[in-house]
Homo-oligomer: A and B are copies of this chain.
């Protein structure tokens, strides 16, 4: 299991490499990126703040829950960015490898959906005309 929180740009290729497994025929990856708009307002930048120790612990727990639900899971990687991000930057990557593809989709979706519910990371959206703190994971 590869769980990371970083204030540096996420190296997606490295995350993918970390789930490579000769027993896996399927890798599903979710990449969350910064969109140029949110609820109709033009976003120019984002700022993520995390309660680091708790965020890492919760991400780890979610990955463990996924391995209980999908015992065939081979590898799991979750990397979340924090700090200041520009439009198009990668905010989070989840990657899982499994023998067969349906499990890879289901497990990856479970992990990102659950992370967005339980991991303490907050997001400040900066617009052309101001900024506001919002739930990191609506």
- Which residues of A are in contact with B by a Cβ distance under 8 Å? 12-13, 16, 20, 22-37, 87-88, 97, 99, 101-102, 104-105, 108-109, 112
Contact = CB atoms under 8 A, between A and B. Distances in A.
* Prevailing SS type, chain A contact patch: mixed
A37 B24 contact: no
B36 A32 contact: no
A32 B112 contact: no
A99 B16 contact: no
A26 B31 contact: yes
Given A12-B13, A12-B16, A104 B30 contact: yes
8 contacts: A23-B36, A27-B30, A27-B33, A28-B30, A28-B108, A29-B29, A30-B104, A105-B105
Contacts of A88: 20, 22
Given A12-B16, A20-B88, A25 B30 contact: no
B24 A33 contact: yes
A32 B27 CA distance: 6
